[in-house]
Amino acid sequence: MENSQKKRKKVKDIFPPHQLSRDEKAGEEKEESIKIKHLKEIPERKIEETESEESITVITSPLKEKTLRKEKTGKRSKILVGVGLLFLSVIFYYLGFIILARAEVNITTKKIEIPFSGIVLIDKNVSSIDFSKAIIPGNLFIFKANESQEFSSTGHGKDERKAKGIITIYNNYSTSPQILVATTRFETPDNKIFRLDSRIVIPGATTKNGELIPSTIDVKVTADKPGPDYNIEACNLPDCKFTIPGFAGTSKFKDFYGVSTAPMAGGSLGSALLVTSEDLKNAEEVIMKKITNSIDQDLQNKIPPELKVFQEAKSGVNITKLSSDADLGDYREKFTVAAEAEIKVIAFNENYLIEYIQQAIEKDKDENYDYCQNPELEYLELKTDFDKGTLKISFKTNQVTCHKLSLDEIKRIIVNKDRKALDQIFQSNPGIEEVKIKLWPWWIRKVPNSLQKIKIFIDPHTK
């Protein structure tokens, strides 16, 4: 009843009184009927239990137990989350500050430039530096190459060639020798003329038992005119012989004569390729370029890369031989040009020159500074003597020196220092120009305790 009254009170608070007065009775009757209906649906055991307020409490107890269980579960979850976060924090700290911690320090030192100029002699005849005489070792290379190539003729001309051959001349006239001048004519039975290529002396005949035994001599002859008509077969006794028209009308005409055992050949008429001056010129240019490329390839492949070579220290390609198997105007379809050449080169190791420079300026260098990079050399004048194998060089340079620092000492000083302490340490060092510090991971604020986790680079961009 109290619950019902409470419910009604709440309704009164919401609705106006005049509405409640009309419907109050009807509402009470409705409420009563609902209760009765509800009670009928509850099993007998539950109806008995609802006769007291305690029985109502028993009905709602499962809900409270569920709520209590949720509260306990929530507390347990919070405890687990807290423990997990603590564990992750420990792992995070261990990884970040112990395992992954790194420090990188890039130091730029203070520098001093020392100017220097001088003259040195590069000499192939020495093997070590002579500091007192300013002589350093050098190398003389001599590269040789030979090339040949076949070329095509481009000229055209009449192919008027004369037949050539050998005849045997008989002296059946006397025991005295007979002189015949060059171009002396010999005639075949069908009136074809061949001429001696050069002056000859026909030996005198001999006698035996009172009989004259003829002497002989083989000579070269050329047809009087070009053409294939003079390509004749062998002319031999008794049917054929060469007579000498110059002896016609004398007793010598019958007893001086010639025969041939082989055909005359080579005579021709027509158009043929011939070698022109342009052909020879172009062929020489091609072979020169080819042999120059061959020598340049040797220069690249056979001179060690640590040696320095100046263009002025190369002799240039010297052609020692240039030949062709054809002459200007030769009737040739193909001809070959060959060449031989050489080049001399003086080279040296630039590190020897740097060593000489550093030795020369040692007395002017501050003892707290050291050579930290190779000087940039400016070469002023070069004079070569390839016969002696020497190269004289005048030059000037600025040798850079850097303040000396100890890596191990710096590592020991900066261990476990924060950035403020690091700034004070590096600013107090007179040899340091600039410092860049990188700590990793980004959240750490101190240099790691382990020396192995510290990397120091001094003048990292200095060559």
The per-residue pLDDT for range 251-277, each reduced to its tens digit, is: 999 999 999 999 999 998 888 899 999
Residue with tokens 């003829």: 214
Tens of pLDDT along 160-185? Answer: 889 999 999 999 999 999 999 999 99
Query: Residue range 317-337: average pLDDT?
Result: 92
177 occurs within a structural domain: yes
Q: Are residues 310 and 212 in the same domain?
A: no
Print the domain residue range for 228: 160-269
Least reliable range by pLDDT among 48-52, 338-342, 441-445: 48-52
Give the number of residues written for the chain: 463
Integer CA distances (angstroms), 58 to 37, 61, 365, in order: 21, 5, 103
Amino acid at 263: P
> Which has the higher per-residue pLDDT, 52 or 171?
171
| Phi/psi at 130 (5° precision) | -105, 95
Q: Are residues 177 and 277 in the same domain?
A: no
Q: Specify which of 88-92, 230-234, 405-409 reaches the highest per-range mean pLDDT.
A: 230-234
- Domain boundary among the residues 269, 296, 321 is at 269
Do 170 and 215 lie in one domain? The reply is yes
| 402-419 average pLDDT score | 91
Percent of the chain with pLDDT over 90: 66
The reply to whether 427 and 360 lie within a common domain is: no
| DSSP 3-state of 13 | helix
pLDDT given at position 46 = 42
Identify any residues that bridge with 212 across adjacent strands, giving them in sequence order. 207
Tell me the average pLDDT of the chain.
Answer: 84
**Any domain includes 286:** yes
| 24 domain residue, yes or no | no
Bridge partners of residue 194, in order along the sequence: 186, 223
Contact 327, 275 (CB under 8 A): yes
Establish if 44 belongs to a structural domain. Answer: no
Q: Which comes out higher in pLDDT, residue 157 or 201?
A: 201
- If one compares 392 and 317, the residue with the highest pLDDT of the two is 392
Q: Which SS3 state, helix, strand or coil, does residue 228 take?
A: helix
Q: What is the pLDDT of residue 463?
A: 55
Asked if the structure places residue 342 within a domain, the reply is yes
Average pLDDT for 386-409: 94
Q: Are 220 and 168 in contact (CB under 8 A)?
A: no
Same domain, 242 and 286: no
Q: How far is CA 407 from CA 9, 287, 439, in A?
A: 90, 61, 18
- Domain co-membership, 370 together with 421: no
Out of 269, 299, 322, pick the residue that ends a domain: 269
Distances (CA, A) of 300 to 293, 305, 309, 374, 435: 11, 8, 10, 25, 43
Let me know: does 462 contact 453? Beta carbons within 8 Å. Answer: no
What's the average model confidence in pLDDT over 423-441? Answer: 91
- One domain, residues 167 and 258: yes
CA distances 121 to 312, 344, 352, 371, 407, Å, are 15, 17, 11, 24, 39
Domain boundary among 252, 269, 286: 269
Mark whether 146 and 133 lie in a shared domain. no
pTM to 2 decimals? Answer: 0.55
- Cβ neighbours for 117, distance < 8 A, ≥ 6 positions apart: 394, 395, 396, 397
Same domain, 264 and 281: no
Structural domain contains residue 34: no
Q: Are residues 305 and 390 in the same domain?
A: no
Residue 259 burial (CB count, 10 A) = 17
Distance CA 203, CA 214 (A): 9
Residue 22 has pLDDT above 80, yes or no: no
DSSP 403-437: E---HHHHHHHHTT-BHHHHHHHHHT-TTEEEEEE
246 shares its domain with 322: no
Fill in the DSSP letter of residue 63.
Answer: H
Whether 66 maps to a domain, the answer reads: no
Domain-embedded: residue 378: yes
DSSP three-state, residue 67: helix
Q: CATH code at 241?
A: 2.40.30
d(CA 427, CA 437): 13
How many domains are there within the chain?
Answer: 4
Residues 323 and 419 in one domain: no
Which DSSP string do the residues of 243-279 spell out, in sequence order? E-GGGTTSTHHHHEEEE-SS--B--B-SEEEE--HHH
